[in-house]
Chain A
């Protein structure tokens, strides 16, 4: 039965190849665009470090004035002041590790005059950063706790930076300069892909930091602070802190440092919260933290929660998604009419078969088989279209960044994976079956012998 129906189905496909082709093309192109957008959305919404992201908490402290506006979203809450950062780092807590990070800029240069200097995005942080966020090392390693305390002039380079400055060799122990300050390389990262750069709360894609250095050293060298300062009480012109008045900044109530803790398990989290609350209470004696402590418990957010908030906000993909869904819908409607045309041409043949005793379900079976084959072919071509669609989108994205983003950093956001390919086939076959429901219903209801009388 199966092989007979399969034969009939294939025969019917070959019968009017242009209609078959048109239908496969309609499904493939619609599916291609749909999957392109879906892949882009899925990949850009990946949770970085997903295997431990639920234990990595961003901590925010509300040191604002009593009459400051209520914050309705965690994302709008301010970060840490320098004072609280230092105090909390010194406390003994139930966290497995704690770190903090802030962004800075510098021009990296080496003695060799043939290698032009490199303006770099730098992250100033502590040594626990590397263990908490599991950075992969190609050469060397991270700096030590002592070096953090001493403000040692050390640096960890990204793979791309090492390639640019040192031609990709093991550069551990070599010296380079940030502007005019000499630093020594202690480690080189391997390619480190984060779908979104969460640790500085920029959630940016494809623009990784080019080097990492101890925060203590960055403060001693007065490197520029590339941050937004949320200042309270006295301070008015906070932009000045980007390049000047470091000491004033360190004593101010300006929040600008992102603070992270790795906390395992609920009970540890509760302990951690109570430690922090105690700290806040103790600071109240100095007239700080005028607001109620009770409200603060919402500002322990792990990476999962942050990312799911950020993901709703990609405007371009949202527009594209609307267009892609409608596009797919048009293609499917198109397929319905083609299929209808294709099936109804066979009314005579079907009514003859019915007259000779074929049951309705047999007719249905045969046509369903035909539709599944079409869906499968649409899936194959659709995956190819998706591949080229993603390539095209990547080119456009490179173009619109004016080639300031490296293709390699962008590639992970436009890569087809097996899960996506499987989804594509599933969507193709399911949608063709849905599309075929009405045409099949029509053809099954052709009454026996009704079409024969004219002949």
Chain B
């Protein structure tokens, strides 16, 4: 191998080598920082939702006229929506998948020091599991007469039964049976017994971040208070959801004194959950891609300059019996050595930046594996960028030595 001559020639051509090193180091710094931030923010991007969210429409009505009879309007709403073509089922809910407002704690014991389990509680009527298309894992779904229906003042007693998701059951009871057990939804309140376990569906961004994406409790209850009216989830036939938004919002607007915050397909709710993180990741990735291109082009241009400059030496080597591959190898090796030094410095820069950001933001982005992978990727890109002009060098005829000089 010609490592010694390469080092000697690099010593001769210090300026260019240093430039390449700086460029590679900075590129690695930007690239690995972008990739680490992207990976850190998008960890949960591809988790399945567990529900046919593209066929579910959510409606968030709100009465600004407090004289309206909410009980009657809930009955009317359900009646009217069910009559629409394409609607499979509708349920009033307190929270919706992807966007519940409140993370709450539930307990397995009633005493003060009981361990708290974070979750989201979803209220719905008996149609809830059908709308969300939940599968029964064990136990049973709740029945019509188990559902409490009334304003917050009217409901004196909390629900006596609840259902929990598979992941919730796992968190609470490990592998043991969940059905028949007791659950405290509030400290000191009356507990509820678990009557069934259903298949997982996605909860909120807050829990998502903690790897608890499927912890949910389903409570058979429809209730409302001043300024807090029931929302609705409506499942429609596949493919119809986007076209039914207007029809559905018109039905809701038939009741005067009401405002609709949002009428949307749950896909949009899901999108919103990732919006901030997604767009940030997008910006950084686009920037990184452009940067890699620029570095590759720069490297290519530089090597083709070197090739022109060394025409005669290459010809001499060829005349002395070096094969074409030897010439290409020389350039590849030279570049690999320089790039490698750049990558080592770049890794230090990346580590420094990531640690700095981690300290400032409190989120831990650092995954050394990604930095190594990025470095390797850059090395490959550089070698490809060098290979093309180097092949041209290999085609220099040995006879060039005999000319002019």
Nearest Cβ distance between residue B307 and chain A, in whole angstroms? 10
Nearest Cβ distance between residue B357 and chain A, in whole angstroms? 7
Q: Which residue of B lies closest to A114 (CB)?
A: B253
Nearest Cβ distance between residue A336 and chain B, in whole angstroms? 6
Residue A29 lies at the interface, judged by CB distance under 8 Å to chain B = yes
- With contacts A113-B256, A396-B283 taken as known, whether A22 is within 8 angstroms of B22 at the C-beta atoms is no
List the one stretch of B192-200, B289-297, B324-332 in contact with chain A: B289-297
Residue A136 lies at the interface, judged by CB distance under 8 Å to chain B = no
Q: Is the CB of A333 within 8 A of B26?
A: yes
Q: Which residue of A lies closest to B268 (CB)?
A: A402
- With contacts A29-B290, A326-B26, A333-B26 taken as known, whether A316 is within 8 angstroms of B275 at the C-beta atoms is no
Which of B34, B278, B297 contacts A22, CB < 8 Å? B297
Which of A22, A30, A33, A322 contacts B301, CB < 8 Å? A22
Residue A358 lies at the interface, judged by CB distance under 8 Å to chain B = no
Residue A300 lies at the interface, judged by CB distance under 8 Å to chain B = no
Which of A26, A400, A438 contacts B276, CB < 8 Å? A400
Residue A294 lies at the interface, judged by CB distance under 8 Å to chain B = no
Residue A285 lies at the interface, judged by CB distance under 8 Å to chain B = no
List the one stretch of A184-192, A253-261, A274-282, A339-347 in contact with chain B: A339-347
Total residue contacts A-B, CB cutoff 8 A: 124
- With contacts A323-B287, A330-B26, A333-B23 taken as known, whether A341 is within 8 angstroms of B301 at the C-beta atoms is yes
- With contacts A116-B253, A326-B26 taken as known, whether A341 is within 8 angstroms of B287 at the C-beta atoms is no
Q: Is the CB of A338 within 8 A of B301?
A: yes
Q: Which residues of A contact B37 (CB under 8 A)?
A: 319
- With contacts A334-B295, A396-B282 taken as known, whether A402 is within 8 angstroms of B275 at the C-beta atoms is yes
Residue A455 lies at the interface, judged by CB distance under 8 Å to chain B = yes
Q: Is the CB of A337 within 8 A of B260?
A: no
Within 8 A of B (CB), among A379-428: 393, 396-397, 399-402
Count of residues in A whose CB is under 8 Å from the partner chain: 51
The dominant DSSP class at the A interface is helix
CA A323 – CA B31 in complex, angstroms?
A: 9
Map CB proximity to A onto B274-309 as digits: 1 under 8 Å, 0 otherwise: 011011101110010011001101100110011011
Residue A315 lies at the interface, judged by CB distance under 8 Å to chain B = yes
Map CB proximity to B onto A341-379 as digits: 1 under 8 Å, 0 otherwise: 110110000000000000000000000000000000000
Q: Which residue of B lies closest to A315 (CB)?
A: B361
Residue B16 lies at the interface, judged by CB distance under 8 Å to chain A = yes
Residue A170 lies at the interface, judged by CB distance under 8 Å to chain B = no
Count of residues in B whose CB is under 8 Å from the partner chain: 56
CA A406 – CA B278 in complex, angstroms?
A: 20
Q: Which residues of B contact A344 (CB under 8 A)?
A: 305, 309
Residue A288 lies at the interface, judged by CB distance under 8 Å to chain B = no
Q: Is the CB of A26 within 8 A of B261?
A: no
Residue B125 lies at the interface, judged by CB distance under 8 Å to chain A = no
Q: Is the CB of B30 within 8 A of A323?
A: yes
Q: Is the CB of A22 within 8 A of B298?
A: yes
Map CB proximity to A onto B200-236 as digits: 1 under 8 Å, 0 otherwise: 0000000000000000000000000011000000000
Nearest Cβ distance between residue A160 and chain B, in whole angstroms? 17
Map CB proximity to A onto B381-398 as digits: 1 under 8 Å, 0 otherwise: 000000000000000000
Q: Is the CB of B64 within 8 A of A109?
A: yes
Residue A149 lies at the interface, judged by CB distance under 8 Å to chain B = no
Nearest Cβ distance between residue A184 and chain B, in whole angstroms? 19
Residue A73 lies at the interface, judged by CB distance under 8 Å to chain B = no
Q: Is the CB of B19 within 8 A of A341?
A: no
Q: Is the CB of B404 within 8 A of A455?
A: yes
- With contacts A330-B295, A338-B301, A396-B279 taken as known, whether A180 is within 8 angstroms of B257 at the C-beta atoms is yes
Q: Is the CB of A334 within 8 A of B298?
A: yes
Residue A327 lies at the interface, judged by CB distance under 8 Å to chain B = yes
CA A154 – CA B48 in complex, angstroms?
A: 51
Q: Which residues of B contact A174 (CB under 8 A)?
A: none
Residue A119 lies at the interface, judged by CB distance under 8 Å to chain B = yes
Nearest Cβ distance between residue A18 and chain B, in whole angstroms? 8
Residue A179 lies at the interface, judged by CB distance under 8 Å to chain B = yes
Q: Which residues of A contact B272 (CB under 8 A)?
A: 402
Nearest Cβ distance between residue B242 and chain A, in whole angstroms? 15
Residue B27 lies at the interface, judged by CB distance under 8 Å to chain A = yes
Residue B29 lies at the interface, judged by CB distance under 8 Å to chain A = yes
Residue A6 lies at the interface, judged by CB distance under 8 Å to chain B = no
Nearest Cβ distance between residue B98 and chain A, in whole angstroms? 12
- With contacts A179-B64, A331-B294, A345-B305 taken as known, whether A400 is within 8 angstroms of B275 at the C-beta atoms is yes
CA A116 – CA B298 in complex, angstroms?
A: 57
Q: Is the CB of B283 within 8 A of A29?
A: no
Which of B260, B306, B353 contacts A116, CB < 8 Å? B260
Nearest Cβ distance between residue B253 and chain A, in whole angstroms? 6
Q: Which residue of A lies closest to B34 (CB)?
A: A323
Residue A320 lies at the interface, judged by CB distance under 8 Å to chain B = yes
Nearest Cβ distance between residue A156 and chain B, in whole angstroms? 20
Nearest Cβ distance between residue B101 and chain A, in whole angstroms? 14
Q: Which residue of A lies closest to B67 (CB)?
A: A180
Q: Is the CB of A337 within 8 A of B23?
A: yes
Q: Which residues of B contact A402 (CB under 8 A)?
A: 268, 271-272, 275
Nearest Cβ distance between residue B356 and chain A, in whole angstroms? 9
Q: Which residue of A lies closest to B254 (CB)?
A: A113
Q: Is the CB of B64 within 8 A of A180?
A: yes
Which of B280, B298, B309, B405 contacts A338, CB < 8 Å? B298
Name the residue among A333, A340, A345 with the largest chain B CB count within 10 angstroms.
A333
Q: Is the CB of A107 within 8 A of B279?
A: no
Q: Is the CB of A180 within 8 A of B65?
A: yes
Q: Which residues of B contact A322 (CB under 8 A)?
A: 33, 353
Q: Which residues of B contact A333 (CB under 8 A)?
A: 19, 22-23, 26
- With contacts A326-B29, A337-B19 taken as known, whether A319 is within 8 angstroms of B271 at the C-beta atoms is no
CA A357 – CA B272 in complex, angstroms?
A: 70
- With contacts A323-B33, A330-B27 taken as known, whether A340 is within 8 angstroms of B19 at the C-beta atoms is yes
Q: Is the CB of B15 within 8 A of A438?
A: yes
Q: Which residues of B contact A340 (CB under 8 A)?
A: 15-16, 19
Q: Is the CB of B279 within 8 A of A330?
A: no
Residue B241 lies at the interface, judged by CB distance under 8 Å to chain A = no
Residue B20 lies at the interface, judged by CB distance under 8 Å to chain A = yes
Within 8 A of B (CB), among A92-124: 106-107, 109, 113, 116-117, 119
Which of A331, A341, A454 contacts B405, CB < 8 Å? A454
Q: Is the CB of A330 within 8 A of B282?
A: no
- With contacts A333-B22, A338-B301 taken as known, whether A323 is within 8 angstroms of B284 at the C-beta atoms is yes
Nearest Cβ distance between residue B401 and chain A, in whole angstroms? 12
Q: Which residues of A contact B64 (CB under 8 A)?
A: 106-107, 109, 117, 179-180
- Can you list 6 A-B pairs with a CB-CB distance of less than 8 A? A117-B64, A327-B287, A333-B22, A338-B302, A340-B15, A341-B301
| Beyond A330-B291, A337-B20, A337-B298, 6 additional pairs, beta carbon < 8 A | A19-B301, A116-B260, A179-B64, A180-B65, A330-B294, A454-B405
3 closest residue pairs by CB, A with B:
A341-B305, A334-B298, A400-B279
Which residues from chain A sit less than 8 Å from chain B, CB to CB?
18-19, 22, 25-26, 29-30, 33, 106-107, 109, 113, 116-117, 119, 179-180, 243, 315-316, 319-320, 322-324, 326-327, 329-331, 333-334, 336-338, 340-342, 344-345, 393, 396-397, 399-402, 438, 442, 454-455
